[in-house]
């Protein structure tokens, strides 16, 4: 019997997770993009209180009204995006927001532009929708920042949408305002949708984040709580867009997950409306770690561009697969850059979402094989 459906036959399981599962108990895991910080105490207390007060029943399909109102205010204040709470859907992480958006708005046979290098789930989500992934190739010479020229070069007559991620996983690149505005104008003129993955928005160093949806209605803003508030296991994200687009995404979200758990939404509302000191403190520490890792790699002769955001370093190596395998033997886990597209084939992704002490030890171990 042919068990698998045709739509999943060519789907690849995550190489990041594969590397994560290979790690020994003594390994320093620089493969997984998960902050090592504990979720801030005031958010945990809010979750406990919500459970004590029996927030255990269904929420609305779009999410708890109070949380959606807070998200709408946040988008208005921080991102210059004018939406109401009705234009927001609370999702099972940013991953579900992306998946549901693509399923709702992309037809089989459409072309969807995806960043190269870019997060590996983008191509698979497009494939599950029966559409075609078209790479938008960014250059290491430009620090892997996607430009409007890169997008124009990738456009096809069948382009329905583009997935963009800034700050970027795996490169840490932060796009320039001029390119964000120009690509937004292009989306309006050419009538394609921008799926803007902004999950690393708060983890940015010395630059300002800009959102596509502040420049065009042809955008879906995707964000969440995992990275900024160290809430990866609580799985809360959201998407926002125009009323017409949100109603289409709701159809997929409603029949996929119905709604996410109510108590966690209460905690997320506390995260958004409470003190943001925890976010700035974590970002400051990430910056310190970034400087350590980039300085160490460059001292080893491994060419490394200083990233402006997220918590990844994408460094050059002529034989990345061999280097990663040697690193595994030294109990350091990383991911070959080819997992993120053809433009990453001579690079390695290293996540510095580990303690400063662990990163110092990891650098010592890598120095042995260099």
- Residue 6 pLDDT level (bands cut at 50, 70, 90): confident
Q: Are 140 and 117 in a shared domain?
A: yes
Contacts of 163 (CB under 8 A, 6+ apart): 98, 102, 112, 113, 114, 115, 118, 122, 126, 195, 197
The model's pLDDT over 115-130, given as tens digits with 9 standing for 90+, comes to 999 999 999 999 999 9
Q: Are 151 and 34 in a shared domain?
A: no
What letters, b where the CB count within 10 A reaches 16 and e where it falls short, cover 10-48?
eeeeebbeebbeebeeebbbbbbbbbbeebbeebeebbe
137 vs 19, more confident: 137
Q: Are 334 and 362 in a shared domain?
A: yes
Q: What CATH number corresponds to the domain at position 155? A: 3.40.640.10
The model's pLDDT over 61-77, given as tens digits with 9 standing for 90+, comes to 999 999 999 999 999 99
pLDDT of residue 305: 85
What does the alpha-carbon distance between residue 235 and residue 227 come to, in Å, rounded to a whole number?
10
Q: Are 117 and 75 in a shared domain?
A: yes
Q: Are 329 and 228 in a shared domain?
A: no
CA nearest 328: which of 364, 296, 366? 366
The model's pLDDT over 301-354, given as tens digits with 9 standing for 90+, comes to 999 889 999 999 999 999 999 999 999 999 999 999 999 999 999 999 999 999
Q: For residue 327, what are its two tokens?
A: 């690193």
Q: Are 62 and 186 in a shared domain?
A: yes
Residue 296: inside a domain: yes
Q: Are 291 and 253 in a shared domain?
A: no
The model's pLDDT over 8-64, given as tens digits with 9 standing for 90+, comes to 777 776 555 565 565 677 899 999 888 999 999 999 999 999 999 999 999 999 999
Give the mean pLDDT of 355-359. Answer: 97
pLDDT of residue 33: 87
The model's pLDDT over 162-214, given as tens digits with 9 standing for 90+, comes to 999 999 999 999 999 999 999 999 999 999 999 999 999 999 999 999 999 99
Q: What CATH number corresponds to the domain at position 288? A: 3.90.1150.10
Q: What percent of the chain has pLDDT over 70?
A: 96
Strands (E), the chain: 28-29, 88-91, 111-116, 132-137, 159-165, 193-197, 219-224, 237-240, 312-316, 332-333, 335-336, 347-351
Name the domain count of the chain.
2
The two beta strands, 312-316 and 237-240, are unpaired
pTM of the entire predicted model: 0.94
Last residue of a domain, one of 225, 246, 273: 273
What does the alpha-carbon distance between residue 110 and residue 157 come to, in Å, rounded to a whole number?
10
DSSP string, 227-264: TTTT-GGG--EEEE--HHHHHHHHHHHHHHTS---HHH
Strand partners, 133: 112
Q: Are 99 and 248 in a shared domain?
A: yes
Residue 1: inside a domain: no
What does the alpha-carbon distance between residue 349 and residue 344 come to, in Å, rounded to a whole number?
9
pLDDT of residue 9: 75
Mean pLDDT, rounded, of the chain: 94
Give the mean pLDDT of 99-109. Answer: 98
Last residue of a domain, one of 224, 256, 273: 273
Q: Which domain holds residue 194?
A: 42-273
- Residue 2 pLDDT level (bands cut at 50, 70, 90): low
């Amino acid at each position: 019997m042919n068990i698998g459906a045709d739509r999943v036959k060519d789907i690849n399981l995550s190489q990041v997770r594969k590397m994560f599962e290979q790690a020994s108990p003594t390994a320093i895991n620089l493969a997984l993009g998960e902050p090592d910080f504990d979720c801030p105490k005031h958010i945990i207390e809010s979750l406990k209180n919500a459970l004590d007060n029996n927030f255990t029943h269904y929420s609305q399909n779009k999410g708890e009204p109070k949380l959606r109102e807070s998200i709408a205010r946040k988008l208005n204040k921080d991102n210059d995006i004018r939406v109401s709470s009705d234009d927001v859907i609370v999702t099972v992480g940013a991953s579900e927001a992306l998946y549901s958006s693509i399923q709702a708005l992309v037809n089989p046979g459409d072309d969807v532009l995806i960043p190269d290098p870019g997060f590996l789930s983008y191509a698979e989500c497009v494939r599950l929708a029966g559409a075609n992934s078209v790479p938008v190739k960014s250059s290491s010479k430009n620090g892997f920042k996607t430009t409007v020229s890169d997008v124009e070069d990738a456009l096809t007559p069948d382009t329905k949408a583009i997935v963009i991620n800034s700050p970027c996983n795996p490169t840490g690149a932060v796009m320039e305002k001029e390119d964000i505005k120009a690509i937004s104008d292009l989306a309006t003129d050419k009538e394609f949708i921008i799926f803007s993955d902004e999950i690393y928005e708060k983890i940015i160093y010395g630059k300002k984040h800009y959102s596509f949806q502040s420049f065009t209605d042809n955008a879906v803003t995707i964000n969440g709580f995992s990275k900024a508030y160290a809430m990866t296991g609580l799985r809360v994200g959201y998407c926002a867009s125009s009323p017409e687009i949100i109603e289409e995404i709701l159809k997929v979200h409603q029949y996929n997950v119905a709604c996410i758990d109510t108590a966690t939404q209460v905690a997320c509302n506390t995260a958004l409306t409470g003190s943001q000191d925890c976010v700035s403190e974590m970002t400051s520490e990430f910056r310190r770690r970034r400087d350590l890792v980039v300085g160490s790699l460059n001292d080893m002769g491994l060419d490394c561009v200083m990233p402006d955001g997220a918590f990844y370093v994408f460094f050059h190596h002529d034989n990345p697969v061999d280097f990663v395998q040697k690193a595994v033997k030294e109990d350091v886990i990383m991911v070959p850059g080819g997992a993120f597209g053809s433009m990453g084939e001579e690079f390695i992704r290293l996540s510095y979402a580990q303690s400063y002490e662990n990163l110092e030890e990891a650098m010592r171990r890598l120095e042995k094989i260099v």
